[in-house]
Structure 1
Amino acid sequence: MASERIEVLKSILLDLHNGASAESVQELFNEHFTGVSAIEISLMEHELMNSDTGITFEDVMSLCNVHANLFKGAIQNIEVADSDHPGHPVQVFKQENLALRAALLRVRRLLASYEEAENSDMKGELAKGLLRQLGLVGQFDIHYRRKEELMFPIMESYGHDSPPRVMWGVDDQIRELFQQALSKAQDLPEEEIADVQAAFETFAAEFEAMIFKEESILLMILLESFTQDDWLKIADESPSYGYAIIQPTEKWQPHRQSFEEEPDDRESAISQFHSLAEGTLEQIIETPEGEIRISYQAKEKKPKLADRFSQQPFGHGYLSLEEANLILNHLPLEITFVNKEDIFQYYNDSGPADEMIFKRTPSQIGRNVELCHPPKLLKKVRAIFDSLRKGEKDKFEMWFKSQSRGKFVHVTYRAVRDEAGLFQGVLEYVQDIQPFRDIKEDFYSE
């Protein structure tokens, strides 16, 4: 039955893709469905993008608003007690959306007041207030990054890889619309207020539509799929990315039931045996008819792996695992290793998470490298990795000025090859080289 419903849903989106009106498919939708789960939406999008219909994730992304409206009012609610607790990632997510909505309303009021203001002094004060409120709205990027970097990897691990790709693509479009609106607001009073209002409303329409998609589709998928451990992982890693406008009022600490066996059960059972030989025990049970003998043979113990502090041959010398880890973490570089299967396998701890140039979290480990990048960058990422894999180049270097952080960032992607020259993966290292650019004289000049 579920597969039939997914086929109907898929058919509806294909009709939309081929030019059918939203009204016509809405009627078909109402005819066949009284409710639809978020999991079915995810499966539908997955099948659309992995079938031979020729539909890509860009196509689904372009239909995102239309099919979101189809599901409005028809999505089954999922009640999960934990998600109502203060500090739970779902509660924090919704509170951020409330705060962002409030900031949108304040921006609208300021734009209307600016339009009605009669003198330049008043307009100047309103413009300052407008930019402050837009700064608050702009914190939606923090909200989106937590969604993309913490929630999406877990979704993918459960097989829901299509919704993240579509939503990340729309997120990037919303980011671009916001930058356009912000740029026009920064140009006041030279910019016409009507143009600023139009740019802002274009952004706001897409942004508010995304809030609906997050709360009525995305969170429903997550609440159906994620375990308590998944939510705890998100809660633990969220501070590394920060929060939009609001801060959680308390830390979420759910009750955890222990199901571990009592530690003395095995010892109590073994104590009833007496030793026959080394590693062999026997218990004798007397019955009227005779004796019952039960023997216990200990399993051969496997040799212990070297601990973190044991010295091992390493390169041209000796290092323990602990020393190697410390050395990598003390390098003035952010290091990432993607293996030959394109799986994100390792990153070092070069500094506090909130100071990292490219934030990395444990939830990204084991993720395909393509899923770690916004859809708009996939073409460049694929080109770099293909060229390194084929041996066309050994490394790519790029650099950019980070205005928000005051850093001049240098990024290198280098192919990792073994002694036989076989490709084993890609090493990325990132460094702030602004301090080198600021050097004025030779240390040994005097």
Structure 2
Amino acid sequence: MNSFLPEVEKLPEGHPVKVYYQESELIQKLLSELYEADAVADFQQYFNIFNQLTTIEKRFARKENQLFPYLEKHGWNGPSRGMWSFHDNLRDQIRLLNTYNTERNTTKIIENLPYLIEGIKRLLTIEDMRLFPIAMQMLSEDDWKEFYEGDEEMGWMLPQKPKPYPAIENGYIHPSEDFTERDLPFSLEDTFHYDEGYMTPNQVNLLLRYLPVDITYVDENDKVIFYNRGEDRVFPRSKGIIGREVRFCHPPKSVDMVLRIVDEFRAGTKDVAEFWFNYRGQIIHIRYFAIRDKHKNYKGVIEMSQDVTEIQKLKGEKRLLDWD
């Protein structure tokens, strides 16, 4: 493991691959501690280490939404299929162990924990031996310079946020933290006419950002062309997804279903598909809508995801504001 590390150490601070290896060091430390932990003698110590390890989800999300799309643009689709499935297997193991953690079933924890530890070790080896060396060969310096903003949206496992890459002298301000007030006069000169009414592009962007649903637009060529950047997304998204084929934007186990929906919409046999399920203690409602122009020509798909947990709890009526 870490055979590519000598090359990585030559990279500038904040380079995405260097950050991945800093995370790898942390992961290996946690795996060692988890291996030595005794869930029977000191459950809390084991549980704390396990919870810290589960932040590996941020690493998975960055790879799936950032690194993999760039590799696809250069013609390498393998990680979007094989490694994403590997991630999902590890997620399943983490969920299973979390069930046993809730029950404090130490017998099952001891029985299943080695599978998670060995699975993550195997993943780190594949990353080190194949994924990152090939990524460094395929991606240009300009590609790597585009990563930071999207990586920040996904998050890192590290205790401190990595320095921006490339370094920015005046400091980096993420769009979600930019609260500069801008004049938005209702002027036709600055607006566009929509079905009913006029808005500036900035107002449209604000409207989409504050909608309490995740929206992703896939065009008629099966390419992702838009997603809204809300504060509390149901599923992670980053700018690396723009221009990506929809078949690479979902876990391998659900790709066939997504492609069937797209095919039915394109053929005109269906217009809506919807699903709902439990996800991390939330009830998630997902809807797909076929988009057609006024001549009924297929123009793509809108995917909408929403946490409806609290909506499902509504009963009776509420006709008055109860802020007081």
Normalising by the residue count of structure 1, what TM-score does the alignment of the two structures yield?
A: 0.61
* Structure having greater relative contact order (Cα 8 Å, sep ≥ 6): 2
Q: What does 1:138-157 correspond to in 2, within 5 Å?
A: 138-157=54-73
- 2: CA distance, partners of 1:420 / 1:220: 49
Which residue in 2 is equivalent to 1:345? 225
- 2: CA distance, partners of 1:176 / 1:89: 27
- 2: CA distance, partners of 1:308 / 1:165: 47
Which residue in 2 is equivalent to 1:103? 30
Are the equivalent residues in 2 in contact too, given 1:410–1:431 (CA < 8 A)?
A: yes
* SS of the residue 1:409 aligns to: strand
Question: Which one has a bigger Cα radius of gyration?
Answer: 1
- 1: CA distance, partners of 2:31 / 2:124: 12
Pair 1:414-2:267 in alignment: no
* Partner residue of 2:204 out of 324, 344, 349: 324
Q: What does 1:249-268 correspond to in 2, within 5 Å?
A: 250-254=163-167
Structure 1 residue 220: Cα displacement: 0.4
Which residue in 1 is equivalent to 2:178? none
Are the equivalent residues in 1 in contact too, given 2:154–2:238 (CA < 8 A)?
A: no
- 1: CA distance, partners of 2:98 / 2:208: 40
1:142-191 CA-to-partner distances (Å, cap 9, x unmatched) read: 111111111000011111112332211222222223333444454445x5
- 2: CA distance, partners of 1:309 / 1:409: 41
255 and 135 in structure 1: CA distance in 2 versus 1, 3 angstrom threshold: closer
- 2: CA distance, partners of 1:142 / 1:445: 41
Deviates more, 1:92-101 or 1:309-318: 309-318
Pair 1:370-2:247 in alignment: yes
Query: Sequence identity of aligned pairs in percent?
Result: 25
- 2: CA distance, partners of 1:326 / 1:248: 27
* SS of the residue 2:190 aligns to: coil
* SS of the residue 1:130 aligns to: helix
1:385 maps to amino acid: V
Structure 1 residue 246: Cα displacement: 3.3
331 and 173 in structure 1: CA distance in 2 versus 1, 3 angstrom threshold: closer
Are the equivalent residues in 2 in contact too, given 1:409–1:430 (CA < 8 A)?
A: yes
Normalising by the residue count of structure 2, what TM-score does the alignment of the two structures yield?
A: 0.82
Structure 1 residue 413: Cα displacement: 0.4
What is the RMSD computed on CA atoms of the aligned residues?
Answer: 3.0
Q: Which runs of 5+ in 2 are unaligned?
A: 170-186
Structure 1 residue 82: Cα displacement: 6.2
78 and 218 in structure 1: CA distance in 2 versus 1, 3 angstrom threshold: farther
Which residue in 2 is equivalent to 1:202? 115
402 and 182 in structure 1: CA distance in 2 versus 1, 3 angstrom threshold: closer
- 2: CA distance, partners of 1:331 / 1:176: 31
322 and 252 in structure 1: CA distance in 2 versus 1, 3 angstrom threshold: closer
- 1: CA distance, partners of 2:5 / 2:242: 32
Pair 1:87-2:14 in alignment: yes
